[in-house]
Structure formats: C-alpha cells, structure tokens
C-alpha cells in the first residue's frame, strides 16, 4: 500500500541479496568473469562496466512477485523525482504539481520527455494504473480515497483520505513505491480494472495471486517488449550479466558519451576481486565498502558526502533483560559506557561519530533544531565510566567488583542480536559493556535468521540497525512502523494495543505512551511534563497544516529521543561513488550526492571515456 514506510527500505550496499544469490555471484567471478560478450575489458571502446547481484534469468520486474531487481532498476528505469542528501528534490518526469488543502487532492502533471524502449511516451497513465493496482489490493489501508487520470494521460490526481502535511506532499509525488517509474500502463491496467470490480478481500487476494503467476515480467519480457526507459536499453543477457546499448530516444542521449553498458553479476568478494583487477569501471557506495583497506591504482573514490542514514544501537524491552532495558538510568548508563569514537573507527566503511542524541543526523539537527540543541542532554562520545556508575547506582544497582547486580543480587545480563553487517561494531560495543561489568551474550545472525527473529516479535535486548531514510525530512527518522525509524511494530499491532489500553508494544515492549519533560534538557520528570502518544502524535505530523506545528513536532520528537533514549545513534555513514579514473573522465557535481550517484552520473552524461 502507498505509505511513508516504503520509501527507502534500503539497508546497505548488499540490499535485497539472498545468500544463494551471493554464492552464485561469487561463483561467477571465480570462474573467470562473465561469458561471451558480457565481460569487462581493459580497452576503452565506449563500453562501461558495473555490477549487480541479481541473477538476470531469475529477475521479475513485477513488484508484487519475488526476485524484483531493485538495484539494476536504478540504471534500467528512471525516477519520477529524485531525493538528495541535503533534503532537496529534483522533478525528473514532473512538469508541475499542486496540492489543494480543501479537497485533499494532489494534482501531478507529467512531462512527455521520456519514452519507453518500445516507443511509447512515459506519462501519468503509467503511474495511475500501477498505483490503482496497489490501492485496490488494499483499499482499506490505502492513503488514497481515489485516483483519477486527466489530460490525455498526462495528469494524475490523487485524492487523500486525510489532510496531508504540505511539507511532506512533495516527497510523495511518485505515489506507490516512491520515486521510480516501475511499470508500463498496459501491463497493470487489466489487473486494476479487474480489481475495480472486486468487492471482497478473498477476490482481491485471488487477483493478486493470479497477477503474480500470470504476469511474470522476466528480463526477456522487459527486453522483448521494451519495458524500460533508462538511457541504456537491454539488448542481450544470460545468467551472468546484462548487455545494454544507448537508447537514442532518451532525452539525455545526446549528452551521454557511453555507447554500451555491461552489467556483470558479482557480490561481496567477487566485487572486490573485479575492482582490484580493473574489470569494473564504476559503482556505488564508499570504495572501502567493497575492498576494505586494500589499495588500487585504477579506481578512486568520487563525490563523498554525508549520507542521510545513521547506525543505531537499539534498546528492545521485552527480552530476557526487559526489566533493565525499561530502566532509563540503565539506557543512559550504556550511552556513557560506549566509546563512539572506537565504534566508528572499528567500522570499516568511513563514518562520523554522532555527537548529539537528537534522533536526527547532524545536518538535519542544525537545520531544524538550530541553537536549541545546545540545551539538549549531552551524552559523551567517549567512555565515561564514572558517569555510568553514578547512573547505575542511582537506579539501585550494585557492582561486586566484577559484575553489576540488580536489587535481587542477580547479575545483569544482556542479550544482543545483530545482522551480519553489524558484526564488527557489535563486538566493539560488547567488549565495552563487558569491561564495565555487564554479562553480554552476542549473536551475529545471517539475514534470514535475523529477519525471522524480528518478524513478529523481538525476544532479545539490544540490536543494531540503520536509522534514517533517503528522504532527509525529520519525520522519516521517527516513523513508528519502520525499522529504520522509531520502530514500535506494525500499525495494526500498535493500534490494537492502544485500543486494548496497553501502554507497551506487543512487538518489542517499547512504550507507546511516554512522559517527557516540557523543558529542553531536563534530565528527570521533577518539573513540568507532557504525555506523548508516539503513534498518534506521528499521525498528526502526517496531516498537520501549519509550519509552526511542524516545528513543534520536530522539537517534541527530538526531545523524546534525547530524554527517553529508545536507541543510541552511534555514527553517520558517508556516501559516495567510485570509478576507474585511468579509463574514464568523471564530471563530479552535486547531482552525484544522492543514492546511487554514480548511476545517475552515467545516465546524465557526467562520465566520458578518456
């Protein structure tokens, strides 16, 4: 369904990669590269090579089906709009838009500059029929009352069920699944029309099942029927790669000096091997994400920038140590124990220590909180064991010379479970907590296992995760139903708990309603306080109309994070791209400073052969 949660469910450089795909990608590299015409070359013949981690013959471009190739679509498709790290937005396929606060209608006029590879104009009808499928599959939970199409398919009107926050509307101009244009109108129209006649949930479920089974958009279908609109059109593929050629009808084709693009299959170590061997010409993310501290003479880091994502240590409150995790002084003590400088330094990709616990990255904090942040509670970035000890003792804990004991004389034990990417920082944190006197049990889990442990409920005490979104608006950092926000569980779980009068989430035990000081920087509840229903207040944020109330909500949620400490933001990530500077010229500008910036550069003519 269309909602603020689906933007950027992106975890890392290895997003959406299954274990089996990683093994297959690695095997491809071991066997000596990509077969036939699909291979890198040291000769610069106008062919540029990058990598992907989805097996081409298993790709399915139907987003309701498994194996959707999320990463390759950043080159093969085009965005309707694009988000940048400074919070700005560029309108790629949008000519104009307006939101009527009275009718709650968002009118989006599409331009006619882009063409599908089959020659059809890309227009609002593509978004309309795709969005109608999404809306009608889940009409009760959709944000939209109805969608309509005007102006010969160039204008889409989305009528919202509820008033919309004018600050946030622009981020949602792309409709379902965010910014990308993901489907041709002719493919989704028949299913939308069938759904328009469906009256029961059973009928809708059956239609979705048949749509997945009867409309697989395999890469062969995409290539044969011209169902992409990026500047590089698929002309050939096999199990190990995709061969593309410049599409002359693309609006930027005359600015692009690349004739052919090769997408080769690789993941993890295979990527590192091909970078070091000079087989890859450009890619996304920090170079160190892929090759660690190895040195290469042919590839350089390009356009580094402060990412919109942070990494957080998150407190869960219904695990074995729930009693301790629910104690504010314990959470604050842990914040004093952890040496953020060491955690950041020991994390291989470059990062920047998060110096303020506002729940927001530094740039957003400066922009939205201004000088008021100087009055927030100041947590140390280096270990302060004396301060941590005072906090533990104030809550009734005792140290016996080796371990911390609760009021019953039992050792305070903490169970930490993290996904594999967090292995290194988690071990650093575990060592620091253990040295302070906590008994810590660390589990580093494969992706599928970790997902199973966090799917329906959480049974451990701490974890590590991403905190943020591609959209650098403060609201995205406090999303109550998103793992990259202030996760309290699914909406139906939260709403059910509140209706039953529960004050904690059945998902992870976190409080749904909290009491915080009204005064910024107050460290206890001895003064004036306010009660905050985190879920309901967030819903208000989605619909508030005034700039003044928007600013009040930023302050309230930041004060909540700073006082209550549902997690500790450890460090901010650095983004960027990399390229082979021996063979290619890279015209670096601000357009690189966004997710998949290198891909954007290739699509807009900022990469040229030497």
Q: Where are the domains of the chain?
A: 307-572
Task: Give the Cα separation of 27 and 24 in Å (integer).
Answer: 5
How do 404-405 and 398-399 pair as beta strands? antiparallel
pLDDT at residue 168, as a whole number: 94
pLDDT at residue 231, as a whole number: 99
310 has pLDDT over 80? yes
pLDDT at residue 45, as a whole number: 77
User: What confidence category does residue 46 fall into, taking pLDDT thresholds of 50, 70 and 90?
Assistant: confident
Out of 290-304, 432-446, 536-550, pick the least confident. 290-304
For residue 418 the two structure tokens come to: 């993290």
Q: Which of the two residues, 18 and 115, has the higher pLDDT score?
A: 115
27 has pLDDT over 50? no
308-320 in b/e burial notation, b at 16+ Cβ within 10 A? bbbbbbbbbbbbe
pLDDT at residue 289, as a whole number: 85
Structural contact between residues 315 and 462, judged by C-beta atoms closer than 8 angstroms: yes
User: What confidence category does residue 78 fall into, taking pLDDT thresholds of 50, 70 and 90?
Assistant: very high
- Chain-centroid distance of CA 233 in Å reads 27
507 has pLDDT over 50? yes
pLDDT in tens, 171-196: 999 999 878 999 999 999 999 999 99
16 has pLDDT over 60? no
pLDDT at residue 21, as a whole number: 41
pLDDT in tens, 348-371: 777 899 999 999 999 999 999 999
Helix (H, G, I), strand (E, B) or coil at 521: coil
User: What confidence category does residue 297 fall into, taking pLDDT thresholds of 50, 70 and 90?
Assistant: confident
Task: Give the Cα separation of 29 and 290 in Å (integer).
Answer: 15
Q: Per DSSP, what are the bridge partners of residue 188?
A: none
Q: What is the DSSP letter of 122?
A: P
Average pLDDT, the chain: 92
Q: What is the DSSP letter of 59?
A: -
72 has pLDDT over 50? yes
User: What confidence category does residue 44 fall into, taking pLDDT thresholds of 50, 70 and 90?
Assistant: low
Q: What is the DSSP letter of 173?
A: T
User: What confidence category does residue 1 fall into, taking pLDDT thresholds of 50, 70 and 90?
Assistant: very low
Residue with tokens 């969005």, as numbered in its chain? 131
Q: What is the DSSP letter of 174?
A: T
Task: Give the Cα separation of 71 and 596 in Å (integer).
Answer: 9
What is the rounded radius of gyration, in angstroms, for the C-alpha atoms of the chain?
25
Q: What is the DSSP letter of 356?
A: -
307-572: CATH superfamily: Dipeptide-binding Protein; Domain 3 (3.10.105.10)
Q: Which residues lie closer than 8 Å to 159 by C-beta, 6 or more apart?
A: 103, 104, 105, 106, 144, 145, 146, 147, 148
Nearest one of 227, 231, 201 to 216, comparing CA atoms:
227
Structural contact between residues 575 and 597, judged by C-beta atoms closer than 8 angstroms: yes
Q: Which of the two residues, 481 and 27, has the higher pLDDT score?
A: 481
pLDDT at residue 268, as a whole number: 86
Task: Give the alpha-carbon dihedral of 257, 263, 269, 272, to 10 degrees.
Answer: -10
Residue with tokens 């699909």, as numbered in its chain? 38
332 has pLDDT over 60? yes
10 has pLDDT over 80? no
Q: Report pTM.
A: 0.86
For residue 300 the two structure tokens come to: 């350089």
Q: How far apart, in Å, are the Cα atoms of 64 and each of 11, 77, 294?
A: 20, 17, 40
pLDDT at residue 23, as a whole number: 40
Nearest one of 257, 252, 211, 216 to 231, comparing CA atoms:
252
Task: Give the Cα separation of 47 and 66 in Å (integer).
Answer: 31
Out of 83-92, 190-199, 377-386, pick the least confident. 83-92
Task: Give the Cα separation of 162 and 178 in Å (integer).
Answer: 19
Nearest one of 574, 87, 597 to 354, comparing CA atoms:
574
| Over residues 139-157, mean pLDDT | 96
Q: Which residues lie closer than 8 Å to 230 by C-beta, 6 or more apart?
A: 75, 76, 77, 78, 247, 250, 603
User: What confidence category does residue 346 fall into, taking pLDDT thresholds of 50, 70 and 90?
Assistant: confident
User: What confidence category does residue 13 fall into, taking pLDDT thresholds of 50, 70 and 90?
Assistant: very low
Structural contact between residues 489 and 506, judged by C-beta atoms closer than 8 angstroms: yes
Task: Give the Cα separation of 336 and 342 in Å (integer).
Answer: 13
Helix (H, G, I), strand (E, B) or coil at 125: helix
426 has pLDDT over 50? yes
């Amino acid at each position: 369904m269309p909602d603020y949660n689906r933007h950027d469910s992106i975890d890392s450089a290895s997003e959406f990669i299954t274990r089996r795909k990683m093994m297959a990608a690695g095997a491809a590299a071991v066997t000596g590269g990509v077969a036939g015409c699909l291979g890198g070359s040291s000769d610069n013949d106008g062919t540029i090579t990058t990598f992907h981690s989805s097996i081409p013959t298993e790709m399915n471009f139907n987003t309701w089906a498994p194996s959707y190739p999320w990463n390759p679509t950043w080159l093969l498709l085009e965005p309707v709009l694009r988000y940048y790290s400074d919070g700005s937005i560029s309108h790629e396929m949008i000519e104009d838009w307006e939101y009527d606060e009275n009718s709650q209608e968002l009118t989006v006029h599409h331009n006619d500059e882009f063409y599908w590879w089959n020659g059809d104009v890309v227009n609002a009808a593509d978004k309309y029929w795709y969005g109608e499928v999404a809306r009608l599959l889940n009409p009760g939970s959709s944000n939209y009352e109805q969608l309509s199409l005007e102006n010969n398919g160039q204008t889409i009107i989305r009528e919202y069920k509820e008033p919309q926050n004018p600050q946030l509307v622009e981020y949602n101009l792309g409709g379902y699944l965010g910014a990308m244009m993901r489907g041709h109108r002719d493919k989704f129209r028949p299913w939308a029309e069938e759904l328009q006649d469906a009256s029961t949930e059973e009928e809708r479920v059956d239609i979705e099942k048949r749509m997945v089974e009867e409309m697989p958009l395999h890469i062969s279908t995409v290539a044969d029927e011209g169902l992409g609109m990026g500047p590089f059109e698929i002309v050939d593929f096999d199990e190990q790669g995709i061969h593309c050629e410049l599409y002359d009808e693309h609006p930027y084709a005359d600015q692009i000096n690349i004739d052919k693009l090769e997408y080769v299959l690789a993941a993890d170590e295979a990527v590192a091997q091909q970078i070091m061997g000079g087989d890859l010409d450009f890619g996304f993310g920090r170079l160190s994400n892929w090759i660690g501290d190895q040195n290469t003479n042919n590839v350089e880091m390009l356009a580094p920038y402060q990412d919109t994502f942070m990494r957080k240590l998150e407190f869960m409150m219904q695990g074995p140590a729930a009693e301790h995790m629910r104690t504010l002084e314990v959470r604050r003590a842990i914040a004093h124990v952890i040496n953020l400088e060491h955690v950041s330094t020991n994390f291989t990709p470059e990062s920047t220590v998060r110096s303020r616990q506002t729940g927001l990255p530094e740039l957003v904090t400066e922009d939205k909180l201004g000088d008021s942040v100087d009055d927030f509670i100041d947590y140390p970035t280096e270990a302060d064991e004396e301060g941590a000890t005072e906090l533990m003792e104030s809550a009734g804990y005792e140290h016996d010379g080796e371990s911390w004991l609760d009021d019953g004389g039992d050792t305070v034990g903490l169970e930490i479970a993290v996904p594999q990417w967090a292995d290194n920082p988690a071990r650093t944190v575990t060592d620091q907590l253990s040295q302070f006197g906590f008994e810590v049990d660390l589990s580093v889990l494969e992706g599928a296992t970790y997902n199973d442990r966090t799917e329906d409920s959480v049974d451990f005490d701490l974890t590590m995760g991403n905190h943020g979104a591609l959209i650098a608006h403060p609201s995205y950092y406090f999303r109550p139903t998103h793992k990259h926000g202030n996760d309290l569980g699914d909406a139906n779980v939260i709403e059910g708990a509140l209706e039953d009068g529960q004050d904690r989430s059945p998902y992870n035990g976190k409080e749904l309603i909290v009491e915080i000081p009204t005064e910024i920087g107050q460290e206890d509840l001895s003064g004036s306080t306010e009660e905050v229903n985190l879920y309901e207040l967030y819903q208000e944020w989605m619909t508030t109309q005034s700039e003044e109330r928007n600013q009040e909500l930023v302050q309230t949620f930041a004060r909540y994070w700073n006082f209550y400490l549902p997690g500790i933001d450890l460090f901010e990530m650095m983004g960027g791209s990399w390229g082979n500077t021996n063979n290619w010229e890279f015209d670096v500008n601000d357009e690189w400073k966004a997710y998949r910036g290198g891909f954007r550069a290739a699509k807009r003519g900022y990469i040229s052969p030497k």
